[in-house]
Amino acid sequence: MARTTTETMGVCERVLEFIRTNQNKIAATGLDPAALESALEAELSVFRQEESQQETLKATLREQTTKTRASKRKADKKGSDTIRMLAGALGSDTELGKQVQRLSSDIRRGDSPAADSSGNAPASG
């Protein structure tokens, strides 16, 4: 079973403490406690740096997501307001007025030549 970040850091810290406490007994087995400690400290240091960078990127992504959602809401409102304005100016009973009122529902249904159901422009060719 995979360990959490906290568990991994805790295990490594406990292993380092164990090595430091039992250096003589470990050395008596033929292992080099200083080399073991150094290697584990190096890996733990890299892990901490990577984890810190990941947390920074997560925070940046959350901030960007908030900005993107706000921009989407503004664009959606502007598009809807523009449809209403055009329908009013063209007359909601005219053919052009009816066409402009159908624009957003056509996009949602995928009836628009301007975009497919995924919102992507159609391939030319």
pTM, rounded to two decimals: 0.62
What are the per-10-residue average pLDDT scores of the chain (125 residues)?
Answer: 92 98 98 98 98 97 98 96 94 91 78 49 45
> Would you state the pLDDT for residue 113?
53
Domain ranges of the chain: 7-109
> Would you state the pLDDT for residue 104?
78
CA atoms within 13 A on the CB side of 54: 7
Q: How far apart are CA 41 and CA 86, in angstroms?
A: 66
User: Positive or negative CA dihedral for 63, 65, 69, 71?
Assistant: positive
